[in-house]
Each structure stands twice: as structure tokens, then as C-alpha cells.
Amino acid sequence: MSLWRQEASNRLPELQASIASALVDSPSDLWMQLRCDFDRLCHEEPPPIELLSRIWQYARWCAEHESEDVQFAAISHFFEHIEDTRLYRTVLPQFMSRDEYETVCGLRAPTKTKDKR
């Protein structure tokens, strides 16, 4: 099993049907499915904040992964699809910082951080 799929399974056992789907052959396939799951979960009342937070943390893990395919999938199929909507303005700040929200929603440019190596 690929590391990106194993990590998703470990972090998101509730979404195993999506992660293990026969339709998921690549990181991009997985993020297209997780993006749909994320949006559906945001619409639940009340939204499962802890699970949404873990999806968010997995997306961040992918964005920092050594594989460009894994990075690309998270960025292009998840982060780029988070929009500044009333629903997201209510739900997302419950598990991400204002800076992260504004950066992801394109409300401001990302700030550069110093490499701590």
C-alpha cells in the first residue's frame, strides 16, 4: 500500500470506503473523493469538526510530502477548491487559524516562513 493511502487510512478511518475505493488509483483520485467528503461533512448539522480537522491536517501533510504527485493532488484538488462562502466562514475557523483560512481562500498571499533546518 502506498504511503499516501496508508496515511489517509490511519488518519481518516471513518472515510475508509473512499480511501479504499477501486476508483482511487492515485493521490489525485483520492483528493477528488476527499474533497467531496469534506464538503458533504461541512454541510452536516452539526458538522463533525474533529473529522474535518483531521482531513485538513492530512491535506497539510500531503502538501509537504516529498512526492510532487501527492503535493499536487492536495493543492489542486483540495486547497484550490476551498472558497470563501458563508458556510465555510462558519465551519473552517473552528479548526484552522485565520491566517490559514485567508491564505487558502485566496484572501491574502501566503507568508514565507524561515526554513528551520
Q: Nearest 5°: phi and psi at 109?
A: -75, 145
Whole-model pTM: value is 0.85
Residue 2 pLDDT > 60, yes or no? yes
What's the whole-number mean pLDDT along residues 73-95?
A: 90
> What is the distance between the alpha carbons of residues 83 and 70, in angstroms, rounded to a whole number?
21
Residue 99 buriedness (CB in 10 A; 0-12 / 13-18 / 19+): exposed
pLDDT of residue 117: 36
Local confidence band at 116 (pLDDT 50, 70, 90 cut-offs)? very low
List the domain boundaries for the chain.
Answer: 3-20+27-104
Q: Find out whether 106 and 84 touch, Cβ atoms under 8 Å.
A: yes
Residues 32-42: pLDDT tens digits?
Answer: 999 999 999 99
Residues 12-29: pLDDT tens digits?
Answer: 999 999 999 999 999 999
